[in-house]
Amino acid sequence: MRIGSLVLLAAGVVLTVAPALAHHSFAAQFDDTKPVKMTGTVTKVEWSNPHIWFYIDVKDKDGKVTNWGFSGGPPGVMMRRGITRNSIKIGDVVVVDGFRAKDGSNNASSGTVTFTDGRKVFTAAAEDTVPSESK
């Protein structure tokens, strides 16, 4: 599976995803009663174990910018899905959904990353939550 073919899906293709199962550290780190959905510009990508992290600058209605960190699956799980460190680039504008960190900091798990052209990348951890495609 190559980037540009399936993982970064062509515009217009809609992904449906199963609810993200808690992964090994999810329950200890994130609060599944606090869903978040943010739009922002990617500032940094950490392609490392045990989970990838990427960061986005989010601007509120008053123009104040806050940097948020989002955790994804382990790099190996991502790469077997065809998602590599180049799938999310600094400067990309993305919409990310996930669940907020338990400590109330500006960190969250990530489920789906949506790009401005409609492409979606599923970044959650568990192997069984690979998205199924539908038109």
Partner 1 sequence: MRKFAVYSFLFTAALSLSPAQTGTKPDFSGFWSAPRQAGAKYGGATVFMKDKMAAFKPGGEALFFEPRTGDPYHDEPRAFCFPSGFPSAFFAPYPIQIVQSRDYLVMVGEFQRATRLIPLDGRAHNPDIEPTYYGDSVGHWDGDTLVIDSTNFKRWSLDDYYYVNPKEYRMHSEAFHAIERLRRKDATTISYQFTVDDPKIFTAPWTEEFEMKLHPEWGKVGIYEFVCEENNRCPGGKCQTN
DSSP H helices, the chain, are: 26-29, 75-80
Do the beta carbons of residue 108 and residue 36 sit within 8 Å? yes
Q: Report residue 75: phi and psi, to 5°.
A: -55, -40
One of 3, 5, 37, 67 touching partner 1 (CB under 8 A): 67
19-38 residues near partner 1, rule: CB under 8 A: 21-25, 27-30
**C-beta of 15: minimal distance to partner 1 in Å?**
17
From 2-10, 33-41, 70-78, 115-123, give the range in contact with partner 1 by CB under 8 A: 70-78
Q: Rule CB under 8 A: is residue 68 a binding residue for partner 1?
A: yes
Q: Please list, residue by residue across 3-36, b when 16 or more beta carbons sit within 10 angstroms of its beta carbon and e when fewer do.
A: eeeebbbeeeeebeeeebebbeebeebbbeeeeb
Q: Rule CB under 8 A: is residue 126 a binding residue for partner 1?
A: yes
Q: Rule CB under 8 A: is residue 63 a binding residue for partner 1?
A: no
**C-beta of 1: minimal distance to partner 1 in Å?**
10
One of 6, 79, 93, 95 touching partner 1 (CB under 8 A): 79
82-101 residues near partner 1, rule: CB under 8 A: 101
Do the beta carbons of residue 107 and residue 69 sit within 8 Å? yes
Most distant CA pair in the chain: distance in Å? 42
